[in-house]
Amino acid sequence: MQTSHHKWMGAALDQARAALETSDVPIGAVVVGPDGTILGTGRNEREATGDPTAHAEVLALREAASARREAGDGDGWRLNDCTLVVTLEPCAMCAGALVLARIPRVVFGAWDPKAGACGSVFDVVREPRLNHWVEVHSGVRGDECAGLLTEFFQEHRRR
Protein backbone atom coordinates (compact mmCIF):
# COMPACT_ATOMS: atom_id res chain seq x y z
CA MET A 1 0.00 0.00 0.00
CA GLN A 2 2.82 2.46 0.80
CA THR A 3 4.14 2.21 -2.79
CA SER A 4 0.70 3.18 -4.07
CA HIS A 5 0.49 6.05 -1.58
CA HIS A 6 3.84 7.35 -2.84
CA LYS A 7 2.69 7.15 -6.48
CA TRP A 8 -0.68 8.76 -5.80
CA MET A 9 1.04 11.56 -3.88
CA GLY A 10 2.96 12.28 -7.08
CA ALA A 11 -0.36 12.99 -8.81
CA ALA A 12 -1.42 15.23 -5.90
CA LEU A 13 1.90 17.09 -6.11
CA ASP A 14 1.31 17.66 -9.84
CA GLN A 15 -2.02 19.27 -8.93
CA ALA A 16 -0.33 21.38 -6.23
CA ARG A 17 2.23 22.69 -8.72
CA ALA A 18 -0.59 23.57 -11.14
CA ALA A 19 -2.15 25.77 -8.43
CA LEU A 20 0.91 28.03 -8.68
CA GLU A 21 -0.28 29.16 -12.13
CA THR A 22 -3.12 31.10 -10.48
CA SER A 23 -1.10 32.21 -7.42
CA ASP A 24 -3.06 29.81 -5.24
CA VAL A 25 -1.44 28.05 -2.29
CA PRO A 26 0.10 24.89 -3.82
CA ILE A 27 -2.08 22.16 -2.38
CA GLY A 28 -3.24 19.29 -4.54
CA ALA A 29 -5.50 16.29 -4.02
CA VAL A 30 -6.68 13.17 -5.80
CA VAL A 31 -9.46 10.70 -5.02
CA VAL A 32 -8.45 7.17 -5.86
CA GLY A 33 -10.98 4.40 -6.47
CA PRO A 34 -10.68 0.85 -5.15
CA ASP A 35 -8.93 -0.32 -8.33
CA GLY A 36 -6.29 2.44 -8.12
CA THR A 37 -7.90 4.64 -10.76
CA ILE A 38 -7.94 8.38 -10.06
CA LEU A 39 -11.61 9.42 -10.02
CA GLY A 40 -11.16 13.07 -9.13
CA THR A 41 -8.44 15.70 -8.93
CA GLY A 42 -8.30 19.10 -7.33
CA ARG A 43 -5.99 21.94 -6.50
CA ASN A 44 -6.55 25.05 -4.49
CA GLU A 45 -8.52 27.54 -6.59
CA ARG A 46 -9.56 30.15 -4.04
CA GLU A 47 -7.57 32.93 -5.75
CA ALA A 48 -8.57 31.75 -9.21
CA THR A 49 -12.30 31.58 -8.46
CA GLY A 50 -12.83 33.83 -5.44
CA ASP A 51 -14.53 30.87 -3.75
CA PRO A 52 -13.50 30.32 -0.12
CA THR A 53 -14.53 26.66 -0.35
CA ALA A 54 -12.38 25.94 -3.43
CA HIS A 55 -9.91 23.78 -1.52
CA ALA A 56 -8.13 20.97 -3.35
CA GLU A 57 -9.88 18.27 -1.33
CA VAL A 58 -13.40 19.62 -1.89
CA LEU A 59 -12.85 19.95 -5.63
CA ALA A 60 -11.41 16.43 -5.88
CA LEU A 61 -14.35 15.01 -3.90
CA ARG A 62 -16.85 16.84 -6.13
CA GLU A 63 -15.20 15.51 -9.29
CA ALA A 64 -15.06 11.94 -7.95
CA ALA A 65 -18.70 12.02 -6.85
CA SER A 66 -19.73 13.39 -10.24
CA ALA A 67 -17.75 10.66 -12.04
CA ARG A 68 -19.39 8.01 -9.88
CA ARG A 69 -22.86 9.44 -10.50
CA GLU A 70 -22.29 9.64 -14.28
CA ALA A 71 -21.06 6.03 -14.29
CA GLY A 72 -24.21 4.94 -12.47
CA ASP A 73 -22.09 3.72 -9.58
CA GLY A 74 -24.36 4.04 -6.56
CA ASP A 75 -25.59 7.46 -5.54
CA GLY A 76 -22.29 9.15 -6.36
CA TRP A 77 -21.71 10.99 -3.11
CA ARG A 78 -20.80 7.96 -1.00
CA LEU A 79 -17.12 7.41 -1.71
CA ASN A 80 -16.87 4.63 0.86
CA ASP A 81 -14.32 2.58 -1.08
CA CYS A 82 -12.02 5.44 -2.11
CA THR A 83 -8.87 7.08 -0.75
CA LEU A 84 -8.20 10.80 -0.66
CA VAL A 85 -4.54 11.72 -1.17
CA VAL A 86 -3.60 15.34 -0.43
CA THR A 87 -0.35 17.22 -0.05
CA LEU A 88 -1.32 18.98 3.21
CA GLU A 89 -3.28 17.76 6.23
CA PRO A 90 -6.93 18.71 5.60
CA CYS A 91 -8.49 21.66 7.45
CA ALA A 92 -11.73 21.39 9.46
CA MET A 93 -13.94 22.06 6.42
CA CYS A 94 -12.19 19.45 4.30
CA ALA A 95 -12.01 16.91 7.13
CA GLY A 96 -15.76 17.35 7.59
CA ALA A 97 -16.27 16.78 3.86
CA LEU A 98 -14.27 13.53 4.11
CA VAL A 99 -16.55 12.32 6.89
CA LEU A 100 -19.69 13.30 4.96
CA ALA A 101 -18.42 11.57 1.80
CA ARG A 102 -17.74 8.41 3.85
CA ILE A 103 -14.11 8.30 2.66
CA PRO A 104 -12.47 5.44 4.59
CA ARG A 105 -8.88 6.71 4.41
CA VAL A 106 -6.90 9.89 3.90
CA VAL A 107 -3.24 9.98 2.94
CA PHE A 108 -1.44 13.29 3.33
CA GLY A 109 2.06 14.64 3.02
CA ALA A 110 2.75 17.59 5.32
CA TRP A 111 1.20 18.27 8.70
CA ASP A 112 -0.60 21.61 9.16
CA PRO A 113 0.20 22.80 12.69
CA LYS A 114 -2.01 25.89 12.29
CA ALA A 115 -5.25 24.51 10.84
CA GLY A 116 -4.96 20.74 10.44
CA ALA A 117 -7.98 18.65 11.38
CA CYS A 118 -6.64 15.11 11.01
CA GLY A 119 -4.66 14.93 14.21
CA SER A 120 -2.62 18.09 14.67
CA VAL A 121 -4.90 20.96 15.78
CA PHE A 122 -8.18 19.05 15.59
CA ASP A 123 -9.06 15.43 14.85
CA VAL A 124 -12.38 15.75 13.05
CA VAL A 125 -11.89 12.55 11.03
CA ARG A 126 -11.63 10.41 14.16
CA GLU A 127 -14.18 12.22 16.32
CA PRO A 128 -16.02 9.41 18.14
CA ARG A 129 -19.31 11.34 18.24
CA LEU A 130 -19.58 11.38 14.45
CA ASN A 131 -21.16 8.59 12.40
CA HIS A 132 -18.05 7.86 10.29
CA TRP A 133 -14.32 7.72 11.00
CA VAL A 134 -11.40 8.02 8.62
CA GLU A 135 -8.11 6.11 8.75
CA VAL A 136 -5.14 8.51 8.56
CA HIS A 137 -1.79 7.91 6.83
CA SER A 138 0.50 10.91 7.28
CA GLY A 139 3.94 11.98 6.14
CA VAL A 140 3.86 10.46 2.65
CA ARG A 141 6.47 12.44 0.72
CA GLY A 142 6.11 14.92 3.56
CA ASP A 143 9.37 16.78 2.98
CA GLU A 144 8.54 17.30 -0.67
CA CYS A 145 5.03 18.53 0.13
CA ALA A 146 6.22 20.83 2.92
CA GLY A 147 9.05 22.16 0.75
CA LEU A 148 6.64 23.25 -1.96
CA LEU A 149 4.60 25.20 0.59
CA THR A 150 7.64 26.72 2.29
CA GLU A 151 9.01 27.91 -1.05
CA PHE A 152 5.63 29.40 -2.01
CA PHE A 153 5.26 31.37 1.23
CA GLN A 154 8.87 32.59 1.17
CA GLU A 155 8.32 33.94 -2.33
CA HIS A 156 4.92 35.36 -1.32
CA ARG A 157 6.51 37.28 1.57
CA ARG A 158 9.24 38.67 -0.70
CA ARG A 159 6.59 40.29 -2.90
Q: Which residues are catalytic?
A: 57
Buried b or exposed e, range 44-63, using 16+ CB within 10 angstroms: bbbeeeeeeebbbbbbbbbb
Please give the Cα distance from 38 to 83 (Å, whole number): 9
The verdict on whether residue 94 carries a ligand-binding annotation is yes
The verdict on whether residue 82 carries a ligand-binding annotation is no
Element (H, E) at 108: strand 105-110
Cβ neighbours, 10 Å, residue 33: 17
Q: Which residues are annotated as a binding site?
A: 55, 91, 94
Q: Which residues are annotated as a binding site for Zn(2+)?
A: 55, 91, 94
